[in-house]
Amino acid sequence: MILWLKVGGLFGGREVGPTEFGVVELVFALVTAAVLALLGQSVWGVMAPFVVRRLGGSIGARDARIVWGAAVFPQVLTMLVLLPLDLIIVGPEIFATTRPGDSLATGWAAISVALCLLLAAWSLSLFVRGIQVVAKLDPIRAIGAVAVAGACLSLVTAAGSLVLLMVWG
């Protein structure tokens, strides 16, 4: 979620001014993302044995969820290191879609986005490698399984978004 909040504005995926995004909105976004991620992980746990079997491997639901959980470990660095630094150096405005005010804030925002992308790539590679090892799949099939895991997360996110739209219209 932190990566989406930072990168979404760069590519025009959302439009939020610097005064429209505060700590309350950030906490809501992070809690919502955590709930959706846990639900996505649960759906993946149900789907993984079937998907991996079709790809020629074998994995239990518990092992699939453990691999997912272990793969997101680099995101702990995002939460414990980058997020506090983002808030100290730039403030909640780092998640707005406008450019930060001074050169220090702009420079830190660029470094922070790059580090978030690096940590996300590390998580993804851990997930692919973990599925490959645990399910005894070749790398291409492991990538296919991880793509299905991404689809599980997308399905849960779409359902969650629909619920939020229905509740808050």
pLDDT the model gives residue 91: 82
Q: How many domains does the chain have?
A: 1
Record the pTM: 0.88
40-63 confidence digits (pLDDT tens): 999 999 999 999 999 999 999 999
Q: Pick the residue with more confidence: 4 or 68? A: 68
Q: Judge whether residue 24 has pLDDT over 90.
A: no
* Residue 70, CB-side half-sphere exposure with 13 Å CA sphere: 14
64-79 confidence digits (pLDDT tens): 999 999 999 999 999 9
Q: Pick the residue with more confidence: 164 or 67? A: 67
Could you tell me which residues come within 8 angstroms of residue 65 by beta carbon, excluding any fewer than 6 positions away? 41, 42, 44, 45
Host domain of residue 150: 2-168
Q: How far apart are CA 84 and CA 76, in angstroms?
A: 12
